[in-house]
Structure 1
């Protein structure tokens, strides 16, 4: 017997209804989810775009630009610094953002900062100002035993604004220098007034361009280590002091095998105009002033309790006039000049404690404190006399490397004309410009946490090693 299975009409109808209902429900659910998720997907995409822009994740890591006169010496130096042929790769997540770099540098310093041991020494300048400096030596057993003096270089270091040998970036640099050049030593200046427990011996602190303390440190080093090859390095403000020191008396250049200037702005006038030109620059100006106010506040009794009488202070600085100042950017910043009727100079008033300690911009602070402390008639005269840019053309007899980052928020782009022109006109000069690096930071390596040693540290050690290995007769006019 054969049974024929025929679909029951009611059963077929039921499954048909169920299938139709399920499809409708899925469609309705999909529509609901799509309507629910779409705004959030758009928001997430927007946030991702913001993060990409904020961290500049799509910007490529680039090989530094190197400028020089194509002299044999400059080409040899560049060839002996392989880091200049490699891409500088900032910390992956945030290293290409100049603001994050500089704030990380200012607040956190270097990760895992080493603390190399040193001996503290003191000196006195011609105006009676007492200052201190640190001598750092290798702790490796027998580091100097049996090593010829000519193979024991000494680095004379000048820190940045409000800095000293205890600053994180200075200690990291010194530690790496002593590791990579184990027979070397480092002498680091402590800017006057920056060490909290040290009382001032006169009514002044450091300034943007006063070379007295650095000059005394170099003299001490030459006397303490006769015959040792010397190299010099300055960071930011310290680089301005170093270059100015070399230019003031050209014979000083013959004392050094080489020098390096890191992240300076070359012209205080150009910098002051830039820091007064917009919201972001003014923010950085206020931060710089905060550092200065902190130093001044620690010594306010000495600085404001008596009239600062620095014998011949103005004469200890190289005097320049506006006529000899290179035209950079075409901007004039003379609104703070102080003059009397008939064009004669007014008597310089003493520093104004109230206005100086309440200042929120560098020009205001320098007007009511710095230029008065140094007895200058006007802020323009002070800035002109303090800047190395007005006289750096005299630095011709020592190999020198200038380093700046194009994204440095504290150095205006037009200021980079100073090292650019110097490197093109002098066979002993090389200018290196990186796309990233910000101001002194130059973090590299890692995704979030950078390496302890910066790109700038590595470059300086390669450069000095190359300089020290070169015979003197191969160094241009040096």
Structure 2
């Protein structure tokens, strides 16, 4: 018997080791989604002349998006790497910061980065960019995108969300909110006055995508001289998005907690401006509820909605969501999302898909991989400095700039401005 045990036990232990290794490999394969294959984006749009032109002129929309082999197929790792690193080998574009006083005493700030060469169309084109939640022009993903756009002949103006810049104090008891377009409108108005011959390209990332689509849909005049709009990784409906943020599916509740903690720290860094003085709309009780908050919804209810006098959280979310305005956008509109974005539930994507099915100016692009604002590309392990997102936005905008093929010289810019303004004025609104 002892002899049999001496021969069978090592074999048993070897079997356990093999099973343990197999289990670990299985978990790794599942967590990294290694069995998933690269695929072209899923595109929803009407069969129009513009749509066919864009698909022909933008090869990145029809070819496979290939993320880094070892980790790029995990939406969580794409999202976490974007959140922790931003981008690799980040450039440092040089710009000029502009301070604009607002009617309520707030001070809007944005940075202007001049183009590093002429645009291929011969036009003067300015990208007006709205970053994600609590972000600004100094964030690495913004710097990378701005540098790439500058090199392709675009001037860039980047909004710094109110209260987001480090070491810049608030001048009124108000911060940026989910859908307030005041600061973005002020920046666009300044650019139009400072560069009267420029055409505009509107770009929004995550929360910024909600703001820019809402801004364009609020008024037809906001679309004057706008060539197109691009929105990346937004959720479209704040009320539905916050409901899904309370779910544990795809660890959204954990992401919610992390984002709430960052937002809480940002608000508390401006405690003296927001929670003191007779003009403040928030009180000590709101401060206590803020400190105890563990979700963005709790922060929005205790503080954020009160900056604009909303009586309830539901009213705040409904009035500030672009889903109620985006159907009024008449200029070409590119909406980009990722299927494995852990922050944006798939149910929210019914909004852009339905819009693209009904409106001839809308194209909805859904990638299989990319996470939330990741979209890293690379061979095996190390990602490239430029992401798929950076390149596809500029490629799309380049195509839009070539679309009308107007006359050369000054008449070209004049004709383009007139055409853009005419489109915004006469296009039917849903």
Same fold (TM over 0.5): yes
Corresponding residue pairs, total = 408
Residues 51-73 of structure 1 show CA distances to partners (whole Å, capped at 9, x for unaligned) of: 11111111111110001111111
Residues 248-303 of structure 1 show CA distances to partners (whole Å, capped at 9, x for unaligned) of: 00122232111101110011101111111236221111122122112111100110
1:449 and 1:306 map into 2 onto residues whose CA distance is 51
TM-score between the two structures when normalised by the length of structure 1? 0.81
What secondary structure is seen at the aligned counterpart in 2 of 1:151?
Answer: coil
Residues 326-383 of structure 1 show CA distances to partners (whole Å, capped at 9, x for unaligned) of: xxxxxxxxxxxxxxxxxxxxxx978711111321111111110111222111110111
2:11 and 2:421 map into 1 onto residues whose CA distance is 71
Are 2:273 and 1:302 equivalent residues in the alignment?
yes
Change (3 A) 1:351 1:413: farther
Match of 1:345 in 2: none
Kindly report the root-mean-square deviation, in angstroms, between the aligned alpha carbons of the 2 structures. Answer: 2.4
Are 2:259 and 1:288 equivalent residues in the alignment?
yes
Match of 2:191 in 1: 221
Residue ranges of structure 2 left out of the alignment (5+ in a row)? 405-415, 425-430
Q: Of the candidates 293, 301, 306, which is equivalent to residue 367 of structure 1?
A: 301
Match of 1:155 in 2: 127
Residues 293-325 of structure 1 show CA distances to partners (whole Å, capped at 9, x for unaligned) of: 121111001100124458xxxxxxxxxxxxxxx
Match of 2:412 in 1: none
2:51 and 2:261 map into 1 onto residues whose CA distance is 40
1:477 deviation in Å?
4.6
1:403 deviation in Å?
0.3
Match of 2:242 in 1: 272
The structure number with the bigger radius of gyration is 1
Are 2:93 and 1:116 equivalent residues in the alignment?
yes
Match of 1:55 in 2: 32
1:444–1:455 CA contact under 8 A, matched in 2:
yes
2:121–2:402 CA contact under 8 A, matched in 1:
no
1:31 and 1:364 map into 2 onto residues whose CA distance is 60
TM-score between the two structures when normalised by the length of structure 2? 0.90
Alignment of 1:348-359 (within 5 A): 352-359=286-293
1:64 and 1:28 map into 2 onto residues whose CA distance is 58
2:295 and 2:156 map into 1 onto residues whose CA distance is 34
> Which aligned segments of 4 or more residues in structure 1 are displaced greater than 4 angstroms?
27-33, 147-150, 307-310, 348-351, 472-478
Q: Of the candidates 340, 361, 364, which is equivalent to residue 407 of structure 1?
A: 340
Q: Of the candidates 65, 69, 82, which is equivalent to residue 46 of structure 2?
A: 69
1:415 and 1:80 map into 2 onto residues whose CA distance is 29
Change (3 A) 1:350 1:231: farther
Match of 2:102 in 1: 125
1:446 deviation in Å?
2.8
1:428–1:477 CA contact under 8 A, matched in 2:
no
Change (3 A) 1:196 1:80: same
1:278 and 1:51 map into 2 onto residues whose CA distance is 21
2:346 and 2:295 map into 1 onto residues whose CA distance is 20
2:273 and 2:224 map into 1 onto residues whose CA distance is 38
2:108–2:186 CA contact under 8 A, matched in 1:
no
What secondary structure is seen at the aligned counterpart in 2 of 1:431?
Answer: strand
Residues 389-419 of structure 1 show CA distances to partners (whole Å, capped at 9, x for unaligned) of: 0121111x21110001111111121211111
1:257–1:398 CA contact under 8 A, matched in 2:
yes
Are 2:209 and 1:239 equivalent residues in the alignment?
yes
Alignment of 1:37-436 (within 5 A): 37-139=14-116, 143=117, 150-179=122-151, 181=152, 183-278=153-248, 280-308=251-279, 352-395=286-329, 397-436=330-369
1:164 and 1:469 map into 2 onto residues whose CA distance is 30
1:258–1:399 CA contact under 8 A, matched in 2:
yes
Change (3 A) 1:308 1:367: farther
Match of 1:325 in 2: none
Change (3 A) 1:284 1:148: closer
What secondary structure is seen at the aligned counterpart in 1 of 2:97?
Answer: strand
